[in-house]
Amino acid sequence: MRLAKFLAHAGVASRRAAEDVVRAGRVTVGGEVITDPARDVDATSGVAVDGRMLEGPEERVVVALNKPSGVVSTARDTHGRRTVVDLVDLPGARLYPVGRLDVDTTGLLLLTNDGELAERLLHPRYELPRTYRARVAGGRLSPRALRALREGVELEDGRTAPAGVREVRAGLLELTLREGRKRQVKRMCDAVGHSVQALERTRFGPLDLRGLASGRWRRLTPAEVERLRA
């Protein structure tokens, strides 16, 4: 298999990030530095990253976390803050988050050591629906504001795709988006004059938060992983 793919399967990074790791000269195969991500390797080739031998594909796991506020969703934080990876105590698995939630956003976040799956879940082509509950300022939305959110609002990085939007009650919206731009829900709500005061993601594709208290995580079952892949 291609070297970058091998690294992704081994949990080093996503496939694209693994290509950069290879090009940076950090990978050796049988003791020789290889900078071609397409080099053909297998578990017997002796692949090492930064001098550390990889043992071939580690068991692939996908974890669902109910992210609390105040925790960053990167694998490592340069300011020493607590990360979502710190919350998942799963020895031996090098997990990284599938996409990001803002530090003050709570709710469902997946983590995995399966770089290929992570990349697919985030790829715009698959338009995986993500559902959010947003507490917003300004009371009830006008029919016009609701229509704008549903049909698309103009943001500085372009118009948003059609979204499912329901006003659960005054000041509480449920939005289902099929794209995942940075701070998208907050920017959409700002654009119609209702700033977000609290944001929770309740669904990601076929998964929801049921049974998962804040700060808790669980491994997905093989059937759930299959449904995600589908």
Contact 3, 36 (CB under 8 A): yes
CB-CB neighbours of 138 under 10 Å:
15
The reply to whether 20 belongs to the active site is no
Site size for ligand URA (CB under 6 A): 8
Does residue number 183 form part of the binding site for ligand URA (CB under 6 A)? yes
- Residue 219 host element (H or E): strand 217-219
Contact 46, 199 (CB under 8 A): no
Exactly one of 105, 112, 160, 202 binds ligand URA (CB under 6 A); that residue is: 105
Could you say which residues in the range 189-208 bind ligand URA, by CB under 6 A?
Answer: 199
Contact 115, 15 (CB under 8 A): yes
CB-CB neighbours of 215 under 10 Å:
12
Residue in 227, 225, 211 with CA at minimum distance from that of residue 65:
211
Distance in Å, CB of 199 to ligand URA, minimum? 6
Does residue number 98 form part of the binding site for ligand URA (CB under 6 A)? no
- Rounded Cα distance between 61 and 51, Å, is 25
Distance in Å, CB of 215 to ligand URA, minimum? 17
Does residue number 186 form part of the binding site for ligand URA (CB under 6 A)? yes
Piece of the chain touching ligand URA by CB under 6 A; list 43-51, 98-106, 155-163, 208-216 = 98-106
Distance in Å, CB of 182 to ligand URA, minimum? 8
Residues 143-182, one symbol each (x = binds ligand URA by CB under 6 A, - = not), give: ----------------------------------------
- 50, 77, 89, 102: the catalytic one is 102
- Rounded Cα distance between 23 and 41, Å, is 16
Does residue number 185 form part of the binding site for ligand URA (CB under 6 A)? yes
Contact 88, 63 (CB under 8 A): yes
Residues identified as active-site? 102
Q: Which residues bind ligand URA (CB under 6 A)?
A: 101-102, 105, 183-186, 199
